[in-house]
Structure 1
Amino acid sequence: MYMTGCELDFNWTVVLVVCFGSLLSFISLLKKRTPSMMLSPHAMTMLFTSERNQAVRLRMESVGPGSETPITIHQLFLEAVESYGDHPALVFRKGGRMMTLTWRQYYEQCRAAAKSFLKLGLERYHGVGILGFNSPEWFISDIGCILAGGLAAGIYTTNSAEACHYVASNCEANVLVVENHQQLEKILQLPHLKAIVQYEGELEQKAEFLYTWDQFMKLGENIPNKRLNAVIDSLRANECCTLIYTSGTTGNPKGVMLSHDNITWTARTVSKMINLHCCEEVLISYLPLSHIAAQMMDIWCSMSLIATAHFAEPDALKGSLVNTLKEARPTGFLGVPRVWEKIQESMKAVGAKGSALRKRVADWAKSIGLQYSYSAMNGENEVPWGFMLANNLVFKRVRYELGLDRCKLCCTGAAPITKETLDYFMSLSIPVKELYGMSESSGPHAIISVVCLCSVGKVMAGCKTKLDKPDADGNGEICFWGRHVFMGYLNMPDKTAEALDEQGWLHSGDLGKHDEDDFLYITGRIKEIIITAGGENIPPVPIEDAVKHELPIISNAMLIGDKQKFLSMLLTLKCVMDDEGNPTDILSPEAVDICRQLNVRATKVSEIIANKEPVLYKAIQDGINRFNKTSTSNAQKIQKWILLEKDFSVHGGELGPTLKLRRPIVAKMYQDQINKLYSR
Structure 2
Amino acid sequence: MPRTERFWLVHPSPVVSMSTSTQTHQQTDPASNQLGNSSDCSPLGPMTNLLEQDVGEGLSEKQSTEEVLAGVELAPAQSLWTTEASGSVQLRIDELCPGQPLTIYQMFTNSVQKYGKLTALATKRGNEWEKVTFSEYFHLSRMAAKSFLKLGLERFHGVAVLGFNSAEWFIAATGTVFAGGIIAGIYTTNSPDACLYVANDLRANVIVVENQEQLYKILQVRDKLLHLKAIVQYSGSLKEKLPNLYSWEEFMALGLEISDQELDEVISNQKANQCCVIIYTSGTTGPPKGVMLSHDNITWTTHHGIRVGGVQPAEIRQESLVSYLPLNHIAGQMFDLWAGIQFGEQVFFAQPDALKGSLVDTLREVNPTAHLGVPRVWEKIMEKIKEGISQCGYMKRKLVTWAMSVSLEENQRLTKDEEKSFLFNLADSLVLQKLRAEVGLSNCEKFFSGAAPIGSETLQFFLGLNIRLYEIYGMSECSGPNFFSGPKVYRFSSCGKVVPGCRYKLVNMDADGIGEVCFWGRNVFMGFLNLEQKTKEALDEDGWLHSGDLGKVDEDGFIYITGRIKELIITAGGENVPPLPIEDAVKQQLPIISNAMLIGDKMKFLSMLLTLKCTINPETAEPTDSLSLEAVEYCQRLGSQATKVSDIIGGKDKLVYQSIKEGIALVNSKANSNAQRIQKWTILGKDFSIVGGELGPTMKLRRPVVLQKYHSEIESFYRV
Calculate the TM-score normalised by the size of structure 1: 0.93
Provide the identity percentage. Answer: 55
Deviations 1:198-241 (A, max 9, x none): 11111122211111111111112110110000001111100000
Q: Does 1:326 align with 2:364?
A: yes
**Amino acid corresponding to residue 202 of structure 2 in structure 1:** C
Matches of 2:75 and 2:176, distance apart in 1 = 22
Deviations 1:642-670 (A, max 9, x none): 11110000111000011000000110001
Question: Pick from 145, 155, 173: which aligns with 1:124?
Answer: 155
State whether residues 595 and 612 of structure 2, in contact with CA within 8 Å, keep that contact through their aligned partners in structure 1: yes
Deviations 1:120-177 (A, max 9, x none): 1011111101000000000001111111111101001011111111100110111000
**Amino acid corresponding to residue 322 of structure 2 in structure 1:** I
How far 1:274 sits from its partner (Å)? 2.2
**Amino acid corresponding to residue 52 of structure 1 in structure 2:** A
Alignment of 1:91-490 (within 5 A): 91-188=122-219, 189=222, 190-279=225-314, 280-376=318-414, 378-379=415-416, 381-449=418-486, 450-490=489-529
Q: Does 1:578 align with 2:617?
A: yes
> Secondary structure of 1:182's partner?
helix
Unaligned runs of 5+ in 1: 1-33
State whether residues 372 and 381 of structure 1, in contact with CA within 8 Å, keep that contact through their aligned partners in structure 2: no
Match of 1:602 in 2: 642
> Secondary structure of 1:37's partner?
coil
State whether residues 552 and 561 of structure 2, in contact with CA within 8 Å, keep that contact through their aligned partners in structure 1: yes
Question: Pick from 712, 715, 718: which aligns with 1:672?
Answer: 712
Matches of 2:254 and 2:521, distance apart in 1 = 40
**Amino acid corresponding to residue 452 of structure 2 in structure 1:** A
Structure 1 segments of 4+ aligned residues over 6 angstroms from their partners:
none
Q: Does 1:539 align with 2:574?
A: no
Matches of 1:313 and 1:195, distance apart in 2 = 27
**Which stretch of the first structure deviates more once superposed, 605-614 or 47-56?**
605-614
**Amino acid corresponding to residue 510 of structure 2 in structure 1:** D
Q: Does 1:513 align with 2:552?
A: yes
**Amino acid corresponding to residue 643 of structure 1 in structure 2:** I
> Secondary structure of 1:679's partner?
coil
Matches of 1:382 and 1:639, distance apart in 2 = 47
State whether residues 371 and 384 of structure 1, in contact with CA within 8 Å, keep that contact through their aligned partners in structure 2: no
- Structure with the bigger percentage of helix: 1
Matches of 1:380 and 1:121, distance apart in 2 = 57
Match of 2:591 in 1: 552
Matches of 2:660 and 2:549, distance apart in 1 = 31
Matches of 1:415 and 1:39, distance apart in 2 = 35
Query: Using a 3 Å threshold, how does the CA distance of structure 1 residues 648 and 36 change in structure 2: closer, same or farther?
Result: farther
How far 1:384 sits from its partner (Å)? 3.5
Matches of 1:509 and 1:371, distance apart in 2 = 35
Deviations 1:362-386 (A, max 9, x none): 111111101221233x346253451
Q: Aligned residue pairs: how many?
A: 642
**Amino acid corresponding to residue 89 of structure 2 in structure 1:** V
Deviations 1:292-333 (A, max 9, x none): 001000011111110100000011111111111111111110
Match of 1:10 in 2: none
State whether residues 113 and 220 of structure 1, in contact with CA within 8 Å, keep that contact through their aligned partners in structure 2: yes
Calculate the TM-score normalised by the size of structure 2: 0.88
Match of 1:527 in 2: 566
Query: Using a 3 Å threshold, how does the CA distance of structure 1 residues 547 and 231 change in structure 2: closer, same or farther?
Result: same
State whether residues 282 and 310 of structure 1, in contact with CA within 8 Å, keep that contact through their aligned partners in structure 2: yes
Matches of 1:35 and 1:53, distance apart in 2 = 24
> Secondary structure of 1:185's partner?
helix
Q: Does 1:47 align with 2:86?
A: no
Matches of 2:171 and 2:448, distance apart in 1 = 26
State whether residues 36 and 237 of structure 1, in contact with CA within 8 Å, keep that contact through their aligned partners in structure 2: no
Unaligned runs of 5+ in 2: 1-68
How far 1:451 sits from its partner (Å)? 2.5
Query: Using a 3 Å threshold, how does the CA distance of structure 1 residues 312 and 35 change in structure 2: closer, same or farther?
Result: farther
**Amino acid corresponding to residue 261 of structure 2 in structure 1:** K
> Secondary structure of 2:626's partner?
strand
**Amino acid corresponding to residue 94 of structure 2 in structure 1:** E
How far 1:479 sits from its partner (Å)? 0.3
How far 1:600 sits from its partner (Å)? 1.5
Match of 1:13 in 2: none
**Amino acid corresponding to residue 455 of structure 2 in structure 1:** T
Higher Rg:
1
How large is the Cα RMSD of the aligned pairs? 1.3
Matches of 1:525 and 1:379, distance apart in 2 = 31
State whether residues 36 and 71 of structure 1, in contact with CA within 8 Å, keep that contact through their aligned partners in structure 2: no
Matches of 2:70 and 2:142, distance apart in 1 = 18
Match of 1:647 in 2: 687
**Which stretch of the first structure deviates more once superposed, 352-361 or 296-305?**
352-361
> Secondary structure of 2:662's partner?
helix
**Amino acid corresponding to residue 149 of structure 1 in structure 2:** G
State whether residues 513 and 523 of structure 1, in contact with CA within 8 Å, keep that contact through their aligned partners in structure 2: yes
Q: Does 1:588 align with 2:628?
A: yes
Matches of 1:547 and 1:381, distance apart in 2 = 34
